[in-house]
Chains A and B, each alone.
Chain A
Amino acid sequence: MSRVAPGSFAPLLALALGATVRAGTAQDTSRIDRGVRIGIIYRPGVRPGMVVLPAAAVPDSVRAIIARDLEYSDRFELITLPGGDSIHLATAAAPAPAAPAAGRTGTSGAKPASGAAAATGLNYPLYQALGADFAVTLTAAKADSTIATVHDVAAGGVRRELRVHLPPPTAPEFRMAVHRLADRLLDAALGVAGTAASRVLFVLDGKVYSIDQDGAELKLVSASEHTALSPAWAPDGRRFAYMEFWQGRGRLFIEDLATTKRAAVAVLGQALDFTPAFSPDGKTLAFSRGNEEGTDIYTVNVKDGCCLQRLTVGRFADNLSPVYSPDGQRIAFVSTRAGAPQVYIMGADGTDQQLFAPFDYGVTGASYAPDWSPDGRSVAFHRDVGGTYQVFVLDVRMRAVRQLTSVGRNEDPTWAPDSRHMAFVSDRSGVRQLWIVDVETGRIRALETQSGARLPAWSPRLPETTTSTP
Chain B
Amino acid sequence: MKRFQLLVLASLAAAAAAACSSKPQTTPAPVAAGPDTAGQAAERARLDSIERARQDAARRAAEEAERAARQRTADSLAAIGRGSEAVRTLFATTIHFDFDKANIHTDDAAILDQKVSVMQANPQVTIRVTGNCDERGSDEYNLALGNRRAVSAKQYLTSHGIDVGRIATASNGKERPIDSGHNEAAWAKNRNDQFDIVAGGDALKQP
Q: A318-B148, A320-B144 are in contact. Are A411 and B175 (CB under 8 A)?
A: no
Q: Provide the bound-state CA to CA distance between A196 and B117, in Å.
A: 62
* B169: Cβ under 8 A from any A Cβ: yes
* A288: Cβ under 8 A from any B Cβ: yes
B140 touches A368 (CB 8 A): yes
A294 touches B144 (CB 8 A): yes
B141 touches A320 (CB 8 A): yes
- The stretch of A244-252, A299-307, A355-363 in contact with B is A244-252
- What residues on B are CB-neighbors of A454 within 8 Å? 139
Q: Provide the bound-state CA to CA distance between A203 and B199, in Å.
A: 33
Q: A248-B170, A294-B148, A318-B148 are in contact. Are A341 and B175 (CB under 8 A)?
A: no
* B192: Cβ under 8 A from any A Cβ: no
Taking a contact as CB atoms closer than 8 A, the residue among A247, A290, A292, A368 that contacts B138 in the complex is: A368
A229 shortest CB reach to chain B, Å: 7
B127 shortest CB reach to chain A, Å: 12
B143 touches A292 (CB 8 A): no
Q: Provide the bound-state CA to CA distance between A279 and B173, in Å.
A: 26
A229 touches B147 (CB 8 A): no
* B128: Cβ under 8 A from any A Cβ: yes
A32 shortest CB reach to chain B, Å: 45
A455 touches B139 (CB 8 A): yes
A294 touches B151 (CB 8 A): yes
Interface string of B129-154 (1 = CB under 8 A from A): 01000000011110111011011001
A290 touches B139 (CB 8 A): no
A277 shortest CB reach to chain B, Å: 11
Interface string of A280-301 (1 = CB under 8 A from B): 0000000010111011000000
Q: A248-B170, A272-B171 are in contact. Are A290 and B141 (CB under 8 A)?
A: no
B143 touches A290 (CB 8 A): yes
Taking a contact as CB atoms closer than 8 A, the residue among B100, B151, B175 that contacts A229 in the complex is: B175
Q: Which residue of A has the minimal Cβ distance to B194?
A: A248
* B172: Cβ under 8 A from any A Cβ: yes
- What residues on B are CB-neighbors of A311 within 8 Å? none
B147 touches A272 (CB 8 A): yes
B102 shortest CB reach to chain A, Å: 10
Interface string of B152-173 (1 = CB under 8 A from A): 0010000000000000011111
B148 shortest CB reach to chain A, Å: 6
| Residues 254-293 (chain A) with a chain B CB within 8 angstroms | 272, 274-275, 288, 290-292
A188 shortest CB reach to chain B, Å: 40
Q: A275-B140, A295-B147, A320-B140 are in contact. Are A249 and B170 (CB under 8 A)?
A: yes
* A230: Cβ under 8 A from any B Cβ: yes
B141 touches A341 (CB 8 A): yes
Q: A292-B154, A295-B144, A320-B144 are in contact. Are A272 and B138 (CB under 8 A)?
A: no
* Residue among B140, B145, B173 having the largest count of chain A Cβ atoms under 10 Å: B140
A242 shortest CB reach to chain B, Å: 12
Q: Which residue of B has the minimal Cβ distance to A411?
A: B138
Taking a contact as CB atoms closer than 8 A, the residue among B144, B150, B172, B175 that contacts A318 in the complex is: B144
Q: Provide the bound-state CA to CA distance between A294 and B141, in Å.
A: 12
Question: Main SS of the interface on chain B?
Answer: mixed
B172 touches A382 (CB 8 A): no
Taking a contact as CB atoms closer than 8 A, the residue among A272, A294, A455 that contacts B170 in the complex is: A272
- What residues on A are CB-neighbors of B128 within 8 Å? 247-248
Taking a contact as CB atoms closer than 8 A, the residue among B143, B148, B150 that contacts A274 in the complex is: B143
B151 touches A292 (CB 8 A): yes
Q: Provide the bound-state CA to CA distance between A341 and B101, in Å.
A: 12
A272 touches B154 (CB 8 A): no
Taking a contact as CB atoms closer than 8 A, the residue among B100, B139, B151, B173 that contacts A412 in the complex is: B139
Q: Which residue of B has the minimal Cβ distance to A227?
A: B175
- What residues on A are CB-neighbors of B100 within 8 Å? 366
B22 shortest CB reach to chain A, Å: 45
Q: Provide the bound-state CA to CA distance between A301 and B172, in Å.
A: 26
* A321: Cβ under 8 A from any B Cβ: yes
A250 touches B143 (CB 8 A): yes
| Residues 114-136 (chain B) with a chain A CB within 8 angstroms | 128, 130
- What residues on A are CB-neighbors of B145 within 8 Å? 318
Interface string of A315-341 (1 = CB under 8 A from B): 000101100000000000010100001
Q: Provide the bound-state CA to CA distance between A291 and B100, in Å.
A: 18
- What residues on A are CB-neighbors of B150 within 8 Å? 248
Q: Provide the bound-state CA to CA distance between A290 and B150, in Å.
A: 10
Q: A206-B175, A245-B175, A248-B128 are in contact. Are A334 and B141 (CB under 8 A)?
A: yes
Q: Provide the bound-state CA to CA distance between A229 and B171, in Å.
A: 13
* A424: Cβ under 8 A from any B Cβ: no
Q: Provide the bound-state CA to CA distance between A291 and B138, in Å.
A: 19
Taking a contact as CB atoms closer than 8 A, the residue among A248, A275, A294, A368 that contacts B172 in the complex is: A248
Q: Which residue of A has the minimal Cβ distance to B100?
A: A366
B130 touches A368 (CB 8 A): no
- What residues on A are CB-neighbors of B171 within 8 Å? 248, 272, 290
- What residues on B are CB-neighbors of A369 within 8 Å? 138, 140-141
B138 touches A382 (CB 8 A): yes
- What residues on B are CB-neighbors of A334 within 8 Å? 141
* A389: Cβ under 8 A from any B Cβ: yes
Q: Which residue of B has the minimal Cβ distance to A270?
A: B168
Q: Provide the bound-state CA to CA distance between A229 and B139, in Å.
A: 9
Q: Which residue of A has the minimal Cβ distance to B147?
A: A290
Q: Provide the bound-state CA to CA distance between A247 and B172, in Å.
A: 8
Q: A248-B171, A248-B172, A249-B170 are in contact. Are A288 and B143 (CB under 8 A)?
A: yes
- What residues on B are CB-neighbors of A250 within 8 Å? 143
Given contacts A272-B171, A382-B138, 7 further A-B contacts (CB under 8 A): A229-B175, A245-B175, A248-B150, A272-B147, A318-B147, A320-B140, A368-B141
The 17 sampled A-B contact pairs (Cβ below 8 Å) are A229-B139, A229-B140, A248-B150, A272-B147, A274-B140, A288-B140, A290-B147, A290-B171, A292-B154, A294-B147, A294-B151, A295-B148, A318-B147, A320-B140, A369-B141, A389-B138, A412-B138
In the A-B complex, list the 9 residue pairs whose CB atoms are closest, starting with the nearest.
A248-B170, A290-B147, A295-B144, A368-B138, A318-B144, A248-B130, A320-B144, A274-B143, A368-B141
